[in-house]
């Protein structure tokens, strides 16, 4: 079993920034090794030697480096391509010798060639019996050993035991300190019919090595899993599985997703799977695997991989909560589970920190919680989740306006198309499964037509609106891609009740806050402000800070969801949208919240003002009278009380791990 791991990352000439970002990320992840290529073909191009003169020492100073030396310069190739053998086979060993002299102090092992049974790396059509390859690589391996370094034989892909045995019979394995293995179970179609598991293939490999060179180690020099279907948990599971494999080292391909404008060997976007192999995405945002490695290490990966095993075997109709590991979803799940219900928690774990909510729920409720780690864009997963559902609370989605402006297509696919996928999955059951959808007040737009009166905070001049808030009769006015995608989903949910008879309703939410919230600058601003203040850091306010929101504690939101679900299930409410917020009694400006946070934390908060953000409303307060009349509901937690409770929870669970005793003064300070 490999206890240590590394990553594979190919760097292209000029990728200086990418190298620095990768080194920082690899250090945080706990990776011990890095495998990268030292391209013979690139080296002899103009500027190539300068690039490697910078790259190899830069990497070798920071991490245990394995250079893979391959690719024939086309001018020296028998085919005119980098995959062809050189005219003089010894030229490869000469270049390896040059690399050892120039860079050898930065590494101990050298990998000789890459995927020799892949036509894009080695044109075996000119070398059907691999005599040329054996002479070229065998000679280079002998010279590497003579000079005091350790040669590693490049791994074929897919694995070919007959080829490896041939390398033994030809004497190549006798020169090698390690032999590479490449395998990508679950990603490439070419392996589907031949993959038999790590134990089987590495067992075959060990038997061959024992015949020819018992001291030769097995290294998994390349394995990975593409998240092109947004299944980040499966990537984590595959990583955990590779760590358990009987190998001396494991290199995971790769650290960061390939940029969209970079062609792979087969061509630009030949296969989308190539572009989603990283532990972080193209923009550098950590996926679940990178978050777990950086936060909890290998044990965190193994724990999460085992946490989400299917366990629903009884004849029950569970409630389904999409986004169930999120802030509102985890609070709602806890309430349902505490009352004895079975819950399918469907989440893609794409948001940083939600894995902690999942662990918390599993520890509290055990086998009655059934995690399903899937994405709204996966139609098959939606069908599986909805098949036995008694009710569906649809809370999952892309939640930030800023993200929607950066990636409007992804925002649409998640919020609009994802909701349609779920509705179709419910319709396919043939049962009237009730669904509640978490919409947003952004469907009403920026409210730019409201006349505002001057003062310490923005408030509407219309006394009726000021007294009661914005009602559901307000015309829809989608604004920003986020408002559009949520608005489309909002209308689809309402229409599926009319067109197909599904029992549905919509809650257009204002600012929900409370425990288990991972506040960021883009979403969850109340928790974000508190986290920054508790850490002694400054807070950025977009706009003048006089904008007003009606904040609602999550406990009140959970009560509203449950009561409305009861009414929808009973057929007393259908095809209706309600506003859900704190209402006029909990309407506060950002400045008021910041002042209260300063009181709670015992000191003034440093605030800087930034430009207004697109689509930001000067004032939004929800008129919740219709919801109150329909379900007998009203907020019970005042904003000051709720803010103090959240501050105490964050101090205990999120900021420095304060004890409950240390957090108690924050709860009491409000009344002091």
Active site residues: 482
- Residue 36 and residue 70: Cα distance in Å, rounded? 11
Phi/psi of residue 551, nearest 5 degrees: -85, 145
- Residue 291 and residue 295: Cα distance in Å, rounded? 6
Q: What 3-state DSSP class applies to 452? A: strand
Phi/psi of residue 381, nearest 5 degrees: -65, -40
Picking from 354, 344, 521, 320, the residue whose alpha carbon sits closest to that of residue 431 is 320
Contact 666, 648 (CB under 8 A): yes
In 10 A of CB 464, how many CB atoms?
10
Secondary structure of 283-298 in the HEC alphabet? CCCECHHHHHHHHHHH
Centroid of chain to Cα 297: 16
- Residue 13 and residue 34: Cα distance in Å, rounded? 17
The C-alpha angle with vertex 170 and arms to 167 and 174, in degrees rounded to 5, equals 70
Q: Which residues pair with 513 in a beta bridge?
A: 553
In 10 A of CB 484, how many CB atoms?
19
Q: Where are the alpha helices (DSSP H) in 114-231?
A: 131-146, 161-169, 198-212
Contact 136, 92 (CB under 8 A): yes
- Residue 660 and residue 667: Cα distance in Å, rounded? 10
Length of the chain measured in residues: 672
Helix (H) or strand (E) holding 216: none
Retrieve residue 544's tokens: 């003048």
Centroid of chain to Cα 45: 37
Helix (H) or strand (E) holding 335: helix 327-338
Q: What's the farthest any 2 CA atoms get from each other in the chain? A: 91
In 10 A of CB 359, how many CB atoms?
15
- Residues contacting residue 204 through CB under 8 Å, at least 6 positions apart: 159, 161
Residue 253 Cα distances to 78, 172, 187, 226, angstroms: 30, 26, 12, 9
- Residue 621 and residue 309: Cα distance in Å, rounded? 42
Retrieve residue 488's tokens: 């489309």
Retrieve residue 374's tokens: 């899937």
Q: Which residues pair with 37 in a beta bridge?
A: 68
Q: Which residues pair with 324 in a beta bridge?
A: none
Q: What 3-state DSSP class applies to 7? A: strand
Per the listing, tokens 């996928």 go with: 421
């Amino acid at each position: 079993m490999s206890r240590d791991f590394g990553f594979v990352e190919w760097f292209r000439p000029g990728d200086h920034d990418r190298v620095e970002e990768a080194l920082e990320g690899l250090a945080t992840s706990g990776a011990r090794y890095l495998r990268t290529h030292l391209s013979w073909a690139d080296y002899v191009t103009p500027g190539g030697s300068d690039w490697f003169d910078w790259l190899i020492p830069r990497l070798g100073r920071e991490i245990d480096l394995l250079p893979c030396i391959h690719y024939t310069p086309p001018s020296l190739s028998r085919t005119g391509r980098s995959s062809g053998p050189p005219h003089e086979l010894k030229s490869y060993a000469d270049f390896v010798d040059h690399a050892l002299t120039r860079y050898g102090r930065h590494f101990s092992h050298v990998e000789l060639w890459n995927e020799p049974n892949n036509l894009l790396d080695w044109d075996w059509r000119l070398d059907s019996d691999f005599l040329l390859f054996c002479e070229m690589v065998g000679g280079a391996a002998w010279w590497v050993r003579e000079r005091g370094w350790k040669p590693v034989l490049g791994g074929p892909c897919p694995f070919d035991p007959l080829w490896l045995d041939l390398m033994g019979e030809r004497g190549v394995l006798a020169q090698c300190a390690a032999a590479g293995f490449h395998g990508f179970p679950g990603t490439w179609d070419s392996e589907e019919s031949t993959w038999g598991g790590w134990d089987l293939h590495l067992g075959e490999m060990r038997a061959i090595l024992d015949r020819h060179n018992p001291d030769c180690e097995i290294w998994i020099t390349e394995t990975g899993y593409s998240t092109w279907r947004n299944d980040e948990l499966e990537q984590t599971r595959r990583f955990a599985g590779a760590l358990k494999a009987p190998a001396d080292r494991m290199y995971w391909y790769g650290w960061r997703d390939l940029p969209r404008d970079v062609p792979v060997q087969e061509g630009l976007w030949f296969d989308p799977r190539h572009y989603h192999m990283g532990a972080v995405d193209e923009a550098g945002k950590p996926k679940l695997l990178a978050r777990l490695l950086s936060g909890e290490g290998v044990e965190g990966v193994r724990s999460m991989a085992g946490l989400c095993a299917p366990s629903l075997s009884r004849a029950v109709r569970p409630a389904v909560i999409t986004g169930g590991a999120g802030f509102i979803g985890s609070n709602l799940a806890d309430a349902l589970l505490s009352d004895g219900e079975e819950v399918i928690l469907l989440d893609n774990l794409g948001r940083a920190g939600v894995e902690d909510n999942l662990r918390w729920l599993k520890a509290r409720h055990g086998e009655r919680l059934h995690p399903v780690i899937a994405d709204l864009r996966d139609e098959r997963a939606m069908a599986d989740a909805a098949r036995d559902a008694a009710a569906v609370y649809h809370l999952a989605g892309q939640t930030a306006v800023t993200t929607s402006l950066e990636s409007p297509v992804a925002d649409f696919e998640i919020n609009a198309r994802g909701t349609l996928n779920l509705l179709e999955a419910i319709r396919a059951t043939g049962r009237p499964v009730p669904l509640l959808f978490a919409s947003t007040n952004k469907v009403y737009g920026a409210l730019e037509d409201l006349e505002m009166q001057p003062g310490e905070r923005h408030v509407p001049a219309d006394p009726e609106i000021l007294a009661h808030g914005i009602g559901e009769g307000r015309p829809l006015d989608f604004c920003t891609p986020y408002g559009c995608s949520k608005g489309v989903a909002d209308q689809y949910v309402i229409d599926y009740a009319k067109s197909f008879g599904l029992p549905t309703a919509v809650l257009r939410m204002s600012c929900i806050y409370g425990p288990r919230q991972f506040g960021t600058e883009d979403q969850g601003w109340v928790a974000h402000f508190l986290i920054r203040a508790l850490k002694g850091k400054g807070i950025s306010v977009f706009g003048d800070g006089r904008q007003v929101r009606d904040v609602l504690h999550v406990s009140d939101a959970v009560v509203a969801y449950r009561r409305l679900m009861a009414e929808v299930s009973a057929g007393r409410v259908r095809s209706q949208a309600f506003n859900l917020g704190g209402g006029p009694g909990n309407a506060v400006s950002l400045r008021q919240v910041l002042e209260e946070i300063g009181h709670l934390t015992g000191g003034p908060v440093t605030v800087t003002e930034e430009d207004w953000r697109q689509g930001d409303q000067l004032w939004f307060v929800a008129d919740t009278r219709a919801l109150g009349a329909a379900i007998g509901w009203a907020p019970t937690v005042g904003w000051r009380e709720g803010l103090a409770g959240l501050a105490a929870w964050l101090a205990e669970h999120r900021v420095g791990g304060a004890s409950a005793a240390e957090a108690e003064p924050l709860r009491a300070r409000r009344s002091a």
